[in-house]
Amino acid sequence: MGRFHKPMSWSQSTESDSDKKNAHTYPWQANKVISNNSNTSLGLADTWSHNTSHRSFFLPVHYSENYQYPLVVWFHSNGFNEHQIDQVMPHISLRNYVGVGIRGTKAIDAVGHRFDWHHSPAGIATTQEAVMQAIEAAAGRFSINASRVVLAGYREGGTMALRTAMREPDRFAGVISLGGRMPNGSIRNIEQLRQRRMPMLWQWGTENTQFNQQNLKTDFQMCMAIGSRVEVRQYPGNDEMTTIALHDLDEWTMRHVVADSSIQDSDRWASSPSLYSSN
């Protein structure tokens, strides 16, 4: 199977055949493809999706029931749906993880293709429930390691992944945000978060309008308050959804979550000491 071929996946279909074809032809433009082929804002901008069972599963190549896989729970960007995981996971890894994509809480079109994340109390509670149900469903169907559940999301999905992880930090091994800021609002379980010291990976495009000194300062202050272990990686351009960033996501997860990983440090930036007089 080629590096970018779609592996086995099971999902509840919400896309037309033409939408699926376009999404797989242009994987990084999938949300834009659906946007261009959907009837947007037809009086349903405030319609909620309370059905938390909408999810899409991803199985690695040569899946084995004898190995307990880490589980990646994927939060799509606004304007897409749970099927974004079908385009993302092959670029992260075809072998290392079981994945499950969950659906945003707010429908924004008439045909059920596009969803946003709503950060109201009801939206947050619905998302929390959807995540727990997705983990339970994955554990019931596949061989996963319950202590290696990682939340990851893109843009608005990244912010919701961070919020979800911070609400119940003992349930998750780590959280990754591609271009999504730390969530706003008060933190009620600050002592629990300080004891947990949640591992976080922030991935930012340097030309993303949200990536600026003031925003980073604000987000870092929150992380210092809760004692999180944060790694920030920067990428040229205005978009974090690149093959390099997704490869780094895999590397970080294997390094910080999968303790027995065989991944090795790259010697690309290795240096050796030299005498001052030699410079």
Q: What is the pLDDT of residue 197?
A: 95
Ranges under pLDDT 70 in the chain: 1-53, 260-279
Q: Which residues pair with 202 in a beta bridge?
A: 177, 232
Write the pLDDT tens digit of every residue in 186-218.
Answer: 788 999 999 999 999 999 999 999 999 999 999
Q: What is the pLDDT of residue 187?
A: 86
Tell me the residue type at 141. R
Contact 161, 176 (CB under 8 A): yes
Q: Outline where the chain has alpha helix (H).
A: 17-25, 30-37, 84-92, 121-141, 156-167, 190-196, 213-226, 243-256
Q: What is the pLDDT of residue 254?
A: 96
Q: What is the pLDDT of residue 139?
A: 97
Q: What is the pLDDT of residue 53?
A: 67
Q: What is the pLDDT of residue 274?
A: 42
Contact 111, 81 (CB under 8 A): no
- 152 burial via Cβ count (<10 Å: 0-12, 13-18, 19+): buried
SS3 for 201? strand
- Strands 174-178 and 144-154: what pairing? parallel
Write the pLDDT tens digit of every residue in 213-237.
Answer: 999 999 999 999 999 999 999 999 9
- Tokens representing 277 are 């007089």
Q: What is the pLDDT of residue 14?
A: 39
Q: Give the chain's domains with CATH numbers.
A: 39-259 (3.40.50.1820)
Q: What is the pLDDT of residue 185?
A: 83
Q: What is the pLDDT of residue 260?
A: 52
